[in-house]
Amino acid sequence: MIPALPAELVDIVIDHLFDDKPSLRACALVSSTWLPTSRYHLFRSITVFIKQGMLFADFLNFLRATHLGLLVRDLTLSGVKATRYRQDRLSHPLLLHILDRLPFLRSFRLRQVSFYQNPESWSPEDRLRLRMGPTSLSLDRLQFEYIGRPAEVGSETSAWEVFGVCSSFKSFRTLHLSDLDFRTGSRPWLHPQLPCIVRPTVLRIDNCVALRILVKNLARYQVLSSVEELHLVSEDYRPVGKILQEAGTRLRRLTLDMGTLETLRHYIFFVNPGEHLLNLVDLAHCTSLVDLTLRLHVVRTIHSITTVGMPWEPFRAFLPRLSPTIQNVTVDIRSGPLLGAQRFLHDTEIERWSGIEDRVDRLVNLKTLNFDFHHVPDAKPSLHMTPETFATQLEHILVHKLPRLKALRKLSFSNVVILDS
């Protein structure tokens, strides 16, 4: 065993070896004196739950007293569900002081955090610190969950507070907003005097309340202009067109998940051009789109269901809307119990549609095309076809459509149910 070394020397060695795991393990095994400090490198992610009696300031004091912050890459701060005490809430100056102790932070997540802001009480040092932003230059991902919901956090907290946090960072790649409520609060940017530069390249929005208000303000401050990858989970698909219009030509990957629709009066996805989703989602602005995924979940249908004109119909109504840059397409439809009448496509309708000119031959880069139809055990299958109808449409695809898709390597239609004659 080597003699005890000064703690300062040990910390310097660890700082230089923070990414060299074999060397850090060797240091931990050489001397028991190194053990309490050098074993910090084993922590890859730390979750801090702020409970009653523990304050965010206590966590800051903990970081100041240890060298753990130099080794933290992923951090989650989770607050109490509701609190009336200001000292239990998080302010932007306090948050920046915490982040200053995490210089190599890559992923930062705030969950159920209640904010308290009083700019009049900030010191000149705090104002300067806000303008400078945190020192976590390697930060790649920001995630906010359950902020602004009265049932989850203090009633004074607004989901718009998260943009005050975002605007403090110089750069980050991914912004994830999950279960936020944007109905409260009058303005998105908490500190107009600060330079607000929120330019994520990957944006994920999951089940946010008042999505239209959020999208309106994101467009106002040009937040969407830099987005290259968009994931949207929402039952409200009306703002989707505005998002795609603002994202424009930079958008390369798009995932639209319409969540779980409890009821849908007319389950008509591709057959009726006036009612299916794609008429509400204008893909004309997405001239650089490469990957597209659409998901539609229906718990139950209460009026009528029209058999989707599959597998041939997407070539007429769906693919011509896509950009020639598209390479991968996935459509996932999940249906629940049918509570009304069901209508089947007739061969006469297929013949009537067969004369409509499509433009699939311009999709010169399309490589994979997947259509998946799921149904719950107690429900009727999502897609019913007679053998004659399926054979007719399959022949039309193989003879007339596939030769025009020169780059296509994979074509799949899952969970298609063939009915007995």
| 196 and 146 part of one domain | yes
* pLDDT of residue 37 exceeding 50: no
Encoded tokens for 209: 């309340």
pLDDT at 340: 39
Confidence of residue 365 (pLDDT cuts 50, 70, 90): confident
Banded pLDDT at 253 (limits 50, 70, 90): very high
pLDDT value for 308: 40
For the segment 96-109, what is each residue's pLDDT rounded down to a tens digit? Answer: 778 888 888 888 88
Helices (H) and strands (E) in the chain, counts: 13, 15
Are both 53 and 34 inside the same structural domain? no
Task: Kindly state whether residues 110 and 153 are assigned to the same domain.
Answer: yes
Over residues 174-192, the pLDDT tens digits come to 999 998 888 765 454 444 4
Cβ 197 vs Cβ 167: under 8 Å = yes
In angstroms, the Cα distances linking 243 to 203, 230, 280, 321, 333 are 11, 9, 12, 17, 22
- In our burial notation (b when 16+ CB lie closer than 10 A, e otherwise), range 231-240 reads bbbbebbebb
Query: Quick check: is 234 in a domain?
Result: no
Does 162 score more than 90 pLDDT? no
**Residue 241 falls inside a structural domain:** no
Number of domains in the chain: 3
Q: What is the pLDDT of residue 348?
A: 42
Q: Is the pLDDT of residue 297 over 50?
A: yes
163 within a domain of the structure (yes/no):
yes
Nearest to 376 by CA among 268, 277, 260: 260
Q: Specify whether 156 is located in the same domain as 219.
A: yes
Percent of the chain's residues with pLDDT above 90: 5
Give the pLDDT score at 265: 38
pLDDT at 82 over 70: no
pLDDT at position 309 is 40
If asked whether residues 78 and 216 sit together in one domain, one would say: yes
Nearest-5° Cα angle at 416, 410 to 421: 135
Q: How is residue 411 written in tokens?
A: 């074509």
Cα–Cα distance for residue pair 383/336, rounded to 1 Å:
12
One domain for residues 274 and 381? yes
pLDDT digits (tens, 9 = 90+) for 326-364: 888 887 766 554 433 344 444 444 444 443 345 667 778
Say whether pLDDT at 144 is over 80: yes
Q: Which amino acid is at 332?
A: D
pLDDT, mean of residues 16-21: 66
Which pTM was predicted? Answer: 0.71
User: CA torsion 225→230→236→240, rounded to 10°?
Assistant: 40
Closest by CA position to 383, among listed 298, 306, 316? 306
pLDDT mean across residues, the chain? 67
CB 401 within 8 A of CB 316: no
**Nearest one of 175, 178, 147 to 161, comparing CA atoms:** 147
Tell me, yes or no, whether 233 lies in a domain.
no
**In the prediction, which pLDDT does 83 show?**
47
Candidate from 67-81, 246-260, 355-369 with smallest mean pLDDT: 355-369
Indicate whether 132 and 65 sit together in one domain: yes
Sequence letter at residue 193: Q
Q: What are the residue ranges of helices labelled H in 167-299?
A: 211-220, 240-247, 277-280
The answer on 317 and 275 residing in a single domain is yes
What is the domain range of residue 191? 43-227
Q: Are 286 and 219 found together in one domain?
A: no
- Do 77 and 206 belong together in one domain? yes
Domain assignment of residue 142, yes or no: yes
Helix (H, G, I), strand (E, B) or coil at 32: coil
Among 227, 259, 280, residue at a domain's last position: 227
* 32 and 54 housed in the same domain: no
Whole-angstrom CA distances from 83 to 116, 122, 330 are 11, 22, 44
In a domain? residue 408: yes
User: How many CA atoms lie within 13 Å of 182's alpha carbon, on the beta-carbon side?
Assistant: 23
pLDDT value at residue 166: 75
pLDDT at res. 259: 59
Residues 282 and 197 in one domain: no
